[in-house]
Amino acid sequence: MTFPLIVALTGCNGQDNEQVAERARLEGKAQAEEQLKKDRELLEEQTRKQKQLQDEQIEKQRELQSEQIKKERGATDSRAKEMEASLSKLQDFYEDNSGIYEGTMKNGTDQFNILITLAPSIPRYTDSRVRTPAEIETDLVNLTYQAQILQWIAPSKESAVGCSVTGLRPNKKKGTLTIISSDCPSTYALVLNTTNIAGTARRQNNPDDFEVYAERTSKPAPAKTPAKKAKKAGK
């Protein structure tokens, strides 16, 4: 009778061991899953912080770039403003000396009358858009005089000959302009006048330097500037 009892006890011990092992396996699995969850959460937190740091660095870089662009734009606008002032001063000179110049010359018994119409090649810029220095530089370089010349034997203009000349640059220091072109019948020298609005210019002291010396007899009317808008009441 003792032998079967021992067999029965051995069978119970085997089941308990299996249960313990299963429990240990389940607990180990739960712990592993919990640890895996913690590792995943830690990785996500690290990734989030890293992305936040990168975003902050990118934003800071954008702010620095924006500030640099503002500084460069401010410097460019300041330079453009100075160049516009220089161009305006130069245009004042060209416009003040535009107009009609008249003179005479003799060739043997014939007396020729000369009429020269002088005008700037580029009109003033009137748009509200702020131009770039390169655009203003283009006007500074290309601003010249264009001249329409008529020459005839007095008193009739039926025998008049003429020519058109562009790209003329005056001597601003001396206030003179020389017109020499193969298309024109003569060579002309103009004494520009920036002080007398009526427009008569003095003749050169040495008449042998050029064939014709012309005096300004009329000046174009000044360009009209747009009237400023009246401010509304209360503003």
Q: Residue 72: its pLDDT value, please?
A: 81
Q: What is the mean pLDDT of residues 116-144?
A: 92
Q: Determine contact, residues 191/178, Cβ cutoff 8 Å.
A: no
Could you tell me the pLDDT band of residue 228, with boundaries at 50, 70 and 90?
very low
- Torsion-angle region of 167 (φ positive above 0: left; ψ -120 to 50: alpha; else: beta): left
Could you tell me the pLDDT band of residue 213, with boundaries at 50, 70 and 90?
low
pLDDT in tens, 5-62: 444 545 556 666 777 677 777 777 778 778 888 888 888 888 888 888 888 888 888 8
Q: Residue 219: its pLDDT value, please?
A: 60
pLDDT exceeds 90 at position 185:
no
Cβ of 15: how many Cβ atoms within 10 Å? 9
Q: Which residue bears the tokens 């330079």?
A: 79
Q: What is the mean pLDDT of residues 159-179?
A: 88
Q: Which CATH class is domain 97-122+136-218?
A: mainly beta
pLDDT in tens, 133-150: 999 999 999 999 999 998
Contacts of 79 (CB under 8 A, 6+ apart): 133
pTM for the model stands at 0.58
CA distance 149 to 163: 5
pLDDT in tens, 81-100: 999 999 999 999 898 888 88
Whole-angstrom CA distances from 227 to 88, 102, 104 are 19, 35, 42
Q: Which residue bears the tokens 């119409």?
A: 117
Could you tell me the pLDDT band of residue 107, with boundaries at 50, 70 and 90?
confident
The residue ranking higher by pLDDT, 194 or 136, is: 136
CB hemisphere CA count around 128 (13 angstroms) = 1
Q: Determine contact, residues 215/191, Cβ cutoff 8 Å.
A: yes
Q: Where are the domains of the chain?
A: 1-96, 97-122+136-218
CA distance 217 to 219: 7
CA dihedral 25, 27, 33, 38 (to 10 degrees): -140
